[in-house]
């Protein structure tokens, strides 16, 4: 494993993203939806950097999806854990750790959109945008990365290395 983005750089960027989100959602009561497990560590770090006034208004929840990667072109995504919090009329921000083909996030966006949020945006720590196979708008992006397999900050390799505070590339 090789360090791709070190801890201080990840922390710095999350601080920047939190400031941008705090500005954009000022005065509203956002609902953050994290996609398990990859988004958990990032979403908690993001929340930790948001101002108290915003945390008083904000709610968060998680969904889980599983994708079948047997064949890339026919990759199917299935919901394995639904939301508890109601979406209708909310300012929703869907948070993921990494967007690759975009299928998982696009699937969750479709699910949430069907429940009539007032607004709907996306946020990811890492984006392998060159790998995108479905149209998707990423509103808040931590880092654009190349097509390498990464672990850390929620990202795993066979469930290992998720808890790292930095992003590492597997060589």
State the binding partner of 101 from Mg ion, ligand IMP, none, CB within 5 to 8 A by kind: ligand IMP
DSSP code of 161?
A: S
Cβ proximity to ligand IMP, 54 vs 63, nearer residue: 63
Q: Judged by CB, which is closer to ligand IMP: 52, or 159?
A: 159
Residues 59-98 that bind ligand IMP (CB under 6 A): 67, 96-98
Across the strands, what pairs with 121? Answer: 93
Options 59, 61, 100, 139, the catalytic residue? 100
**Sign of the C-alpha dihedral computed for residues 21, 22, 25 and 28 taken in this order:** positive
Q: What sections of 28-122 are H helices per DSSP?
A: 40-48, 52-57, 103-113
Cα separation, 141 vs 111, whole angstroms: 21
**Can residue 142 be called a binding residue for Mg ion (CB under 5 A)?**
no
d(Cα 47, Cα 31) in Å, to the nearest integer? 12
Q: Taking CB under 6 A as the criterion, which residues in 34-63 touch ligand IMP?
A: 38
- Decide if 100 is catalytic: yes
Burial of 125 (0-12, 13-18, 19+ CB in 10 A): buried
100 binds ligand IMP (CB under 6 A): yes
Nearest residue (CB) to ligand IMP, 119 versus 133? 133
- In the complex, the residues that contact ligand IMP under the rule CB under 6 A are 38, 67, 96-105, 149-150, 155-156
């Amino acid at each position: 494993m090789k360090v791709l983005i070190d801890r201080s750089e990840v922390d710095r960027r999350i601080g920047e993203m939190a400031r941008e989100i705090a500005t954009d959602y000022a005065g509203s009561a956002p609902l953050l939806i994290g996609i398990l497990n990859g988004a958990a560590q990032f979403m908690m770090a993001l929340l930790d950097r948001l101002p108290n006034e915003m945390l008083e208004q904000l709610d968060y929840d998680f969904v889980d999806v599983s994708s079948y990667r047997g064949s890339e072109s026919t990759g199917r995504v299935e919901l394995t854990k639904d939301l508890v919090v109601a979406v209708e009329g909310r300012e929703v921000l869907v948070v993921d750790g990494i967007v690759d083909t975009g299928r998982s996030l696009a699937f969750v966006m479709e699910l949430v959109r069907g429940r009539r949020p007032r607004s709907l945006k996306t946020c990811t720590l890492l984006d392998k945008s060159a790998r995108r196979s479905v149209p998707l708008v990423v509103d808040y992006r931590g880092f654009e990365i190349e097509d390498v397999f990464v672990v850390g900050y929620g990202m795993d390799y066979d469930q290992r290395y998720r808890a790292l505070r930095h992003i590492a590339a597997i060589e």
